[in-house]
């Protein structure tokens, strides 16, 4: 395992653009059933096969949908938000109104997507999505909980490192200390 200190979000964005799964670990763990950017596995939503890659990696059935974390300022351009300004807790699914072929790994067969809107309140997560948007013109990332089948959600850095060691995960990013762990 390598520890790369002083790694900026742009390096992590490049890993996502190169179609890698990246573990993202920051702040306090989230309460509730969804990954909201503090304990997440992230991937590009651009390639259709990423849904199957992520579900296989996590040991889930391949038909299971995955969610998107999208910049709040861009959400209504991509999804019918039903008059809502935000959906910060990933509890609602919305119809995709944009070109579904641009984000096939997060749009379900019925054309919907469960989304989380992200703003500057979640600083590091916001900036990684914003950088991905700047580089790809896609204002979202595929986001799922940081765990694999049979394991509870990652709670501590030690849990994250254990997941790195026992799975095919190659990268974990700790944005608060600008550190990327790699295999």
Helix (H, G, I), strand (E, B) or coil at 17: helix
For residue 62, name the pLDDT band (cuts at 50, 70, 90): confident
Q: Is the pLDDT higher at 133 or at 64?
A: 133
Over residues 130-148, mean pLDDT: 97
- Contact call for residues 112 and 96 (beta carbons, < 8 A): yes
What are the residue ranges of helices labelled H in the chain?
9-17, 49-58, 75-78, 123-136, 157-166
What CATH architecture does domain 2-182 belong to?
Alpha-Beta Complex (3.90)
DSSP secondary structure string for all residues of 92-152: EEEEB-S-GGGSTTTS-TTSEEEEEEE-TTSHHHHHHHHHHHHHHS--EEEEEES--TTSP
Pairing of strands 22-25, 171-174: parallel
The pLDDT value given to residue 31: 74
* pLDDT 10s digits, 71-118: 999 999 999 999 999 999 999 999 999 999 999 999 999 999 999 999
Planar angle of CA 72, 144, 111, nearest 5 degrees: 65
Over residues 21-35, mean pLDDT: 86
- pTM of this prediction exceeds 0.85: yes
d(CA 23, CA 125): 12
For residue 66, name the pLDDT band (cuts at 50, 70, 90): very high
Residues facing residue 141 across a β-bridge? 69
The pLDDT value given to residue 32: 66
Over residues 149-164, mean pLDDT: 94
Task: Tell me the pLDDT of the chain averaged across its residues.
Answer: 95
Residues facing residue 69 across a β-bridge? 116, 141
- Contact call for residues 70 and 88 (beta carbons, < 8 A): no
Chain centre distance of CA 115: 11
For residue 33, name the pLDDT band (cuts at 50, 70, 90): low
Over residues 155-166, mean pLDDT: 96
């Amino acid at each position: 395992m390598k520890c790369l200190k002083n790694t900026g979000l742009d390096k992590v964005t490049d890993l996502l653009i190169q179609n890698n799964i990246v573990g993202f670990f920051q702040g306090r763990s989230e309460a509730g059933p969804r990954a909201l950017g503090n304990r997440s596995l992230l991937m590009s939503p651009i390639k259709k096969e990423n849904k199957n890659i992520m579900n296989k990696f996590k040991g889930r059935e391949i038909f299971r949908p995955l969610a998107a974390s999208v910049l709040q300022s861009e959400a209504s351009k991509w999804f019918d938000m039903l008059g809502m300004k935000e959906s910060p807790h990933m509890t609602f699914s919305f119809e995709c109104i944009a070109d579904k072929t641009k984000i096939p790994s997060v749009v379900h067969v019925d054309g919907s997507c469960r989304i989380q809107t992200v703003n500057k309140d979640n600083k590091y997560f916001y900036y990684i999505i914003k950088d991905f948007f700047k580089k790809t013109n896609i204002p979202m990332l595929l986001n799922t909980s940081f765990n694999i089948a049979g394991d509870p959600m990652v709670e501590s850095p030690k849990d994250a490192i254990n997941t790195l060691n026992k799975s095919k995960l190659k990268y974990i990013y700790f944005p608060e200390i600008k550190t990327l762990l790699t295999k």
